[in-house]
A and B are shown apart, each in its own frame.
Chain A
């Protein structure tokens, strides 16, 4: 989402001359591009202390305020993973080691709190694992190489989703079905209610594919497949709390009962486990205390995207008008060169005045467009900051790095 919308719109503004590459508006987006994912427990740098005393105190208080979630067993697992002494108690060493880990894995916030964004990065399960990512990349490269041979948008989308489904199957997640739609444009989304991945047909309809397009298509499908895994984990979390398939589906409002809720019912997450805590983080964001914020952010994302499109149209019109006025001035100047009469002189003056007005109007439209873009950038930033989106977005870098055409 971040890269596909963000880069597209930065490019649009660059084209429009509103920003130059590398200017702040671009950096806001690109600086948050996720880094490669980590893996095994890390050895903490004993000297590294990214947090000050107040931050340490705040982090320790945060863990201690949630004793049912951050049990001694969970704290021990975190300590082991980030290379802190395994005491089972959240202490300064733990907070500092978590902060070091966060600092190595942007866009995680460095605060020493192993919350819903940090835990899925520290404990890489399912599609976040190096093994799954590597297996998917290998398949994605073959699909990119066979792009022409596959023949149609449907077959290409099916092939890429089949590769993602193999990894979902390895994680015991029910397979997702593809749904190609013309109106989706370049974007995609996972529809949990029907367990389908809605993909923009445009990206799969082209008969040839560049390296960048191959990487983007592979990363998008994997990102959305990770959402499927998140939803299945949330269903398993509810199963671990004793809910049956009908109740699980209803609580998640709503997932297919036979094909998704029932398999989740049969694979409950153990209460108090790390997997349950990770799933709880996503559940809180989508269905719990974070749901109102999430709703506001996603609504704002839609609203601001529409506003940017509208401002872009206005700007395009003003730009075309300015170019027309420039051409008119050039013609008037040519006429004056050929015939320097007073009448032609007045025509040059009039054409110059019209161009001045058009330039002023274009500049105002560019300013409006930049303001709209800034609001949309903030909405994109806030969307990517949602725990489930941060997690899915962090699959991008390794997939994009590895899945070019061979």
Chain B
């Protein structure tokens, strides 16, 4: 599961892939909701039940990829921290299922940079033993201006 996340973020950061190329790289496309909307994918990695590749509203570029974890699979905040480093806690929105935390996956020198937003369910010890409900990888161009 975590390898799939890292691989996806690397691919998104390295080159200008189309949403369909991103979807093909993740698994089998089962629905395409057209311009400005998403492609729904059955992932090759059984750790995920579904992936959605969202297009930008203004162009045929991937805006973000959302990965939903399978019922049986487990991913903890500790797993993410071990692979991607420190996270920051984002403000909640009413209606959200979990609690959002954010990892910066910037890779210097690459044309794009990714941000990982995980929705997590805090455990008895809060975020320390929280488990991950879903993961979003958002892509932006790697420039400061």
User: Residues of A at under 8 Å CB distance from B?
Assistant: 1, 154, 158, 174-179, 183-184, 187-196, 198, 227, 244-246, 249-250, 253-254, 256-259, 286-287, 291, 294-295, 298-299, 301, 383, 389
Contact = CB atoms under 8 A, between A and B. Distances in A.
B37 A178 contact: yes
Contact of B58 (A1, A184, A259, A299): A259
Nearest to A186: B95
Interface string B58-77: 10000110100000000000
B24 interface: no
A155 B51 CA distance: 21
B102 A154 contact: no
B63 A246 contact: no
Given A179-B38, A249-B140, A257-B141, A291 B94 contact: no
Interface stretch (B6-14, B15-23, B84-92): B84-92
Nearest to B103: A254
Interface string B19-37: 0000000000000010011
A254 B102 contact: yes
Interface centre among A196, A244, A287 (most CB of B within 10 A): A196
Contact of A256 (B92, B95, B96, B140): B140
Given A177-B57, A246-B144, A257-B141, A192 B93 contact: yes
A177 B95 contact: no
B90 A193 contact: yes
A249 to B, nearest CB: 7
Contacts of B64: 194
Contacts of B141: 257-258
Contacts of A254: 90, 102, 115, 117, 138
Interface centre among A158, A174, A249, A258 (most CB of B within 10 A): A258
Given A193-B115, A194-B136, 12 more contacts: A154-B37, A179-B52, A193-B100, A193-B117, A194-B64, A194-B117, A246-B144, A253-B89, A256-B138, A259-B57, A259-B58, A295-B91
Contacts of B136: 193-194
A324 to B, nearest CB: 34
A35 to B, nearest CB: 22
Nearest to A191: B93
Nearest to B112: A258
Interface centre among B38, B140, B144, B145 (most CB of A within 10 A): B140
Interface centre among B33, B90, B115, B136 (most CB of A within 10 A): B115
Interface centre among B89, B95, B104, B117 (most CB of A within 10 A): B95
A177 B36 contact: yes
A258 B140 contact: yes
Nearest to A165: B57
Contacts of B90: 193, 253-254
B128 interface: no
